[in-house]
Structure 1
Amino acid sequence: MTTIRQNIHDVRERIASTARDCARSPEEVLLLAVSKTQPVTAIEKAILAGQRAFGENYVQEGVEKIHHFARNLTLEWHFIGRLQSNKSRLVAEHFAWCHTVDNLKIAQRLNKQRPVNMSALNVLIQINISNESNKSGIPLHELRQLAENICTLPRLRLRGLMVIPAVENDYQRQLENFKEIKQIFLELKRNYFQMDTLSLGMSADMVAAIHAGSTLLRIGSAIFGTRDYRRFCKKSIDIK
């Protein structure tokens, strides 16, 4: 039976090997451990294995974990779930990153609610590249305007893009889709030089994502194993 420590080691080895295969440095790719629905004991094991960046999908659950680990100042918490207006203050006050900004209203609320004693909130614009009705994210034609608006908000720092493409099992199709997204990222970066983050790729498609140029991988099941959502069923309903 594998352990979280071994899983993290294996994922990091795979990232390093894949990065070298495409002439990239492994340090260019941040491993974000998606800890949603995981108990704090699992996160503690990941921390002991050297993991420092964690991603949470549910606001209240994430805030509880941030409070639990408040004494560990080396940890970095990313909000990667769908964000509703009535939860924006909690994200602004507790997280270092928000990956799912997809409209100006949310951006303005995060900017207004970010405490002045904290550094600017790092934000990624989420694009719905596949135009799927069940996914958040702005359509591509709205991207430039939203990026321009975010850059006027002093308590936010635009760092890049986050995309969850349609599920694709074929590696070549994964790679083609990811390369298209990388090109969009590069075109936007020409006007916004501070952009340095492309949040792209999960457990099932991390190899293609690295080859396409992802700088941040959102890895959950490959680290923590299959999730038991029944443990958090009530909480998930309460906070959505």
Structure 2
Amino acid sequence: MTDLVLSESLAAARARLTEALDAAGRPADAARLLAVSKTKPAALIRQAWHEGQREFGENYVQEALDKQAELADLTGIVWHFIGPLQSNKSRDVAEHFAWVHSVDREKIARRLSDQRPEGLEPLDICLQVNISDETSKSGVSLEALAALAEAVLSMPRLRLRGLMAIPAPAETPAEQRVPFARLRQALEALRERFPEAPLDTLSMGMSADLEAAVAEGATLVRLGTAIFGERHTR
């Protein structure tokens, strides 16, 4: 991908998000674009940074650490870990990321809190919900969500910000909206139960279903292919 192509695709992604927000009757700053840069070279992240993008999502810990080292001269980058997190990788994530979207059990949350360095801000956390009840997907069930949220809220080096989900694929915009609405309702229920918590984030929507997610209240949309092109197999 050339610099010009990336510039055009990033501008198109931003325009698409703006149009979706406008169609939903939401303010232009109600949702942010998270550029999913997994499997893409650091050079593309650098170019996106020069185009004003600051938030990047990574799925693989070692790949992300290598990119962070290569891009250490860039200011203002916010790194989001959005992939499945294994216990043996939790320290690296706690030390090198600002956000984690994929917390789905108390054990991982507690490790992240214990391993988050004191000199850093608390780690911003989204709980991953298995919103479509797929056996192949990670995520806490809706039934167990409140208990996990309560546990995370007690952890001093974590800051619970909201929920994340990757719904099962759906054919139509109306069908796409159903699980996103369910996730929004789950966040609203948590807000009522824990009014002191800064629960302001719905991480949902990707290249194929951005509009449906924004219509249901997404505040972070995760776009990879739409920005960086087709992903190569690791």
- Give the TM-score normalised by the residue count of structure 1: 0.93
The offset of 1:37, in angstroms, is 0.1
Residue 96 (1) aligns with residue 98 (2): yes
Q: Partners in 2 of 1:228 and 1:146 — Cα distance?
A: 35
Q: Secondary structure at the match of 2:89?
A: helix
* CA deviation string 1:158-180 (max 9, x = no partner): 00000111011211101122112
Written as runs of structure 1 = structure 2, the 5 A alignment for 1:100-179 is 100-179=102-181
1:18 is aligned with what amino acid? A
Partner of 2:200: 196
Which of the residues 54, 59, 63 maps onto 2:61? 59
Q: Partners in 1 of 2:99 and 2:192 — Cα distance?
A: 22
Moved over 4 A (4+): none
Q: Secondary structure at the match of 1:3?
A: helix
Q: Partners in 2 of 1:72 and 1:45 — Cα distance?
A: 11
Alignment RMSD (CA, Å): 1.2
The offset of 1:22, in angstroms, is 1.6
2:231 is aligned with what amino acid? R
Which of the residues 206, 214, 219 maps onto 1:215? 219
Q: Secondary structure at the match of 2:161?
A: strand
Q: Which runs of 5+ in 1 are unaligned?
A: 234-240
Q: Partners in 1 of 2:128 and 2:112 — Cα distance?
A: 15
1:226 is aligned with what amino acid? E
Partner of 1:182: 184
Q: Which runs of 5+ in 2 are unaligned?
A: none
Residue 227 (1) aligns with residue 231 (2): yes
* CA deviation string 1:43-82 (max 9, x = no partner): 1121111110000000111111112222223100000000
Residues 131 and 179, structure 2, Cα contact 8 Å, conserved in 1: no
* CA deviation string 1:108-147 (max 9, x = no partner): 1000000000000000100111121221111111100000
Partner of 1:236: none
Residues 161 and 200, structure 2, Cα contact 8 Å, conserved in 1: yes
Partner of 1:10: 12
Which of the residues 63, 68, 84 maps onto 1:82? 84
- Give the TM-score normalised by the residue count of structure 2: 0.95
Identity %: 47
Q: Partners in 2 of 1:115 and 1:160 — Cα distance?
A: 22
Partner of 2:36: 34
2:140 is aligned with what amino acid? I
Partner of 1:45: 47
Q: Partners in 2 of 1:88 and 1:166 — Cα distance?
A: 27
Q: Partners in 2 of 1:102 and 1:179 — Cα distance?
A: 20
Q: Partners in 1 of 2:13 and 2:28 — Cα distance?
A: 12
Residues 132 and 179, structure 2, Cα contact 8 Å, conserved in 1: no
2:221 is aligned with what amino acid? L
Q: Partners in 2 of 1:5 and 1:220 — Cα distance?
A: 14
* CA deviation string 1:201-230 (max 9, x = no partner): 00000001101100000000000010111x
Residues 163 and 183, structure 2, Cα contact 8 Å, conserved in 1: no
Q: Partners in 2 of 1:101 and 1:154 — Cα distance?
A: 16
Q: Secondary structure at the match of 2:135?
A: coil
